[in-house]
Structure 1
Amino acid sequence: MQYTDVFIEFWEQVKQSVEEERFAKLTMAKTIGKPNLKNIFVRPVYSNDGFMVLLKLRYRSRETEDIEQKLTLDEAFPILQKHLKTSFFSVLLFTTTKDVTFKINKKGAGSITEGLPTFTNITQAEIDDN
């Protein structure tokens, strides 16, 4: 199945984990080549304004400063989707009940696998509102 369709299925599991308050973290990993962008992390932020995420772009080069943005889950989706198959081959969803991995193979097909949870508790991202 085409990776874009499978990623939408994967994203439904992300949204469901948020609705059920099981979302712990999301990580984009397995870079393609050696780009300056090393990882993308998405961490939960529960506030009076509702659920938000802290999206962090981490770079290899010390000269490039990491970028952090506080976004809604819907705002984070196109940013993550844009980096699929251009920068990253996999996305890992960590919840308190299971880990879900989305991968793209060399032929461009997507797959989803599930495993035991890495996290048993949710740790919110630290936000500097200054």
Structure 2
Amino acid sequence: MYEPIFALFCERVKESIQNGTFAKLTLAKTMGDTELKNVYFRLVLNEDNTFSISLTFRYKTEEVESIHTLDEALLILGTHIKKPFLTALLFTTNDDVTFKVNKKNAGSIIEQAPTFKNASPVMLEMIEKGIV
């Protein structure tokens, strides 16, 4: 089962935010032709110097955005693993972390050299304001 590996992936997401290295996160590679094409996970800075997570669900014909706490957003992402997404990509300034589920329902995490040299603009602002 992939759930324990996905839980480790979620910990990596939390660590990247706490460490100020988060650049972006997206769900990709759907099973078959689906209405839902991507889910984008972005940091949003609140007026009270806290942060939330913006989830943008990109469908064939529209985009739907919703705002959540970090834990809520990770739970929602988990509901879309295998329904329909097979891959979650976390981009940090240290490394790219890819979570994958195979046909046998096994999860894996692959680490590669970082795509992004800089954290997301909101992440940089959170560091500047001492939020993380």
TM bucket normalised to smaller: 0.7 to 0.9
Instruction: Find the counterpart in structure 2 of residue 58 from structure 1.
Output: 58
Equivalenced residue count is 121
Correspondences of 1:27-106 after superposition (within 5 Å): 27-47=26-46, 48-60=48-60, 62=61, 65-106=62-103
State the distance in 2 between where 1:23 and 1:57 align: 20
1:8-41 deviation per Cα after TM superposition (whole angstroms, max 9, x unaligned): 0111100000101111111000001111000000
Alpha-carbon deviations, 1:65-99, whole Å to 9, x = none? 21111221111012111111111001000111110
In the other structure, the counterpart of 1:115 is 112
Please give the secondary structure, in 1, of the residue aligned with 2:13.
helix
CA contact (8 A) 1:24 1:44 kept: no
RMSD: 1.4
Residue of structure 2 equivalent to 1:124 = 122
Equivalence for 1:23: 22
The alignment's TM-score, normalised by the length of structure 2, stands at 0.86
Identity %: 49
The structure with the greater share of residues assigned to helix is: 2
Q: Distance in 1 between matches of 2:74 and 2:33?
A: 24
**Normalising by the residue count of structure 1, what TM-score does the alignment of the two structures yield?**
0.87
* Unaligned 5+ runs, structure 1: 126-130
